[in-house]
Amino acid sequence: MDFWTDPVEAAGEWLSGIFVGWGMNADAAHVLAAFVGILVLISVVMVLDIFLVWTERKIVARFQDRIGPNRLGPFGLVQPFADIIKLIIKENIYPVGVDKIVYNLAPIIMMTSVLLLWAVLPLTEFLGLDLNVGVLYLIGVGALGTLSIIMAGWSSNNKYALLGAFRQVAVMISYEIPMVVALLIPTILSGSMGINSIVAAQESSWYIVLAPLAFLLFLISATAELGRAPFDLTEAESELIAGHHIEYSGMKFGLFYASELLHTFTFGGFIAAFFFGGWQGPWVSEIPALGLLYFLAKATVGYWLFGWIKYTMPRIRIDKMMDLNWKFLVPFSFVLLMYVALMNALLAGFRATEGAMWIYTWGMFLSNILLGWITLEILRRRAHGERVKVEGAVVEAGHH
């Protein structure tokens, strides 16, 4: 097998051959080679997580006109390792009254929920499990993160931790609805729930072009799901100090922090896969391994988008945040889903006709722009009506 055509399969066969040469059964050798591959992937992801700490600090430094890490190593690249050493040597504190088993499991489950997502993340055409229910898998594994948060808040025996956990879980469950609906739109356009299949279907047109409103809906919902500003109500310092992980110290706190950064990059990868063509790019058909470079570059852009939002938007109130979801995003998401499905069905003939793909692409894009304009116009008129009511009430109160 050509290494550059499918390096993962070639490496797996080579490793299995070594194990068989040592006298191991062929099936056991295949299982062990797969286990080694999983271990390598997890190790690479955890090393990536270390450098995400550096990247996050550099992003916030640029947005807030600060220097950022620049002392330890070139460009401050050794700073994350100093942070790890600091967390490792910090005292492991157990507050009075904690449930130790649940307390210790919470950060582990949080990191596990993120790592499990990488099983279906289509890094290249040949790397990433193409489940035929990949979208459902993403949603199901995401529930583990919700479970870990409520476990951390409840087991800490701290009312602020419990309130922070309740608040974050309410947000995650609420914003999961528009996020799931946004993911159904690429499913409809591609005709598949397999994430690698969705990427392959974007060979002619990325879904950011065909469904820009779905991308915006997913970006907003994912930001809330990640608990990042302006939706970081679990860490509203003036109210709840640090939310569900207030009682954690050392590497347990480090796991929560590392999970947030890696989760953000993972969602950047899903943005790349669902809306930016994933591993699609020039010369991928000749050198499939190039897809990994394209995918990581697009995922980094998604990660930067989340950082841009976090460090430029002020935190909003919890009631306003829930109003935004239930009174706007949820109904809008269902309207958008039906609208895109209808337009996709109406324009399907042009998609199937050779040379008419541009009509389908422009039709889908302009129909999204039209729906966006109608939505903004409805919101503008509603806001104007609310202002008129408030002004009328103020004038009436002045007369009295």
CA atoms within 13 A on the CB side of 302: 32
Lowest mean pLDDT among 263-272, 280-289, 363-372: 280-289
Percentage of the chain exceeding pLDDT 70: 94
User: What is the structure's pLDDT at 168?
Assistant: 86
Q: Are 49 and 264 in contact (CB under 8 A)?
A: no
- Residue 369's alpha-carbon distances to 261, 362, 365, 376, in angstroms, are 33, 10, 6, 11
Angle at 273 between CA 270 and CA 274, to 5 degrees: 85
CA atoms within 13 A on the CB side of 145: 28
Lowest mean pLDDT among 170-174, 238-242, 323-327: 238-242
pLDDT band, very low/low/confident/very high, at 268 (cuts 50, 70, 90): very high
pLDDT band, very low/low/confident/very high, at 7 (cuts 50, 70, 90): low
Other beta carbons within 10 angstroms of residue 326's beta carbon come to: 14
CA distance 177 to 286: 40
Altogether, the residues listed in the chain come to a count of 400
Average pLDDT over residues 110-123: 89
Average pLDDT over residues 118-143: 83
Q: Quick one: tokens of 369?
A: 């722009």
DSSP 120: S
pTM of the entire predicted model: 0.89
Q: In this predicted model, what pLDDT tens digit does every residue of 57-91 receive, in sequence order?
A: 888 888 888 888 888 888 888 888 888 888 888 88
CA distance 225 to 74: 34
In this predicted structure, the answer to whether residue 156 has a pLDDT above a threshold of 70 is yes
User: What is the structure's pLDDT at 36?
Assistant: 85
Collect contacts of 198-201 with beta carbons under 8 A, ≥24 apart: 198/134, 198/273, 198/274, 198/278, 199/122, 199/273, 199/277, 199/278, 199/279, 199/280, 200/125, 200/280
CA distance 103 to 156: 6
Q: Are 310 and 64 in contact (CB under 8 A)?
A: no
Q: In this predicted model, what pLDDT tens digit does every residue of 334-362 receive, in sequence order?
A: 999 999 999 999 998 888 777 788 899 99
Mean pLDDT of the chain: 86
CA distance 10 to 126: 11
CA distance 213 to 190: 17
Collect contacts of 92-100 with beta carbons under 8 A, ≥24 apart: 92/249, 92/250, 92/252, 93/247, 93/249, 93/250, 95/156, 95/157, 95/158, 95/247, 96/157, 97/157, 98/155, 98/156, 98/157, 98/247, 99/154, 99/155, 99/157, 100/155
Q: In this predicted model, what pLDDT tens digit does every residue of 277-330 receive, in sequence order?
A: 988 888 887 777 788 899 999 999 999 999 888 888 888 888 888 999 999 999
DSSP 72: S
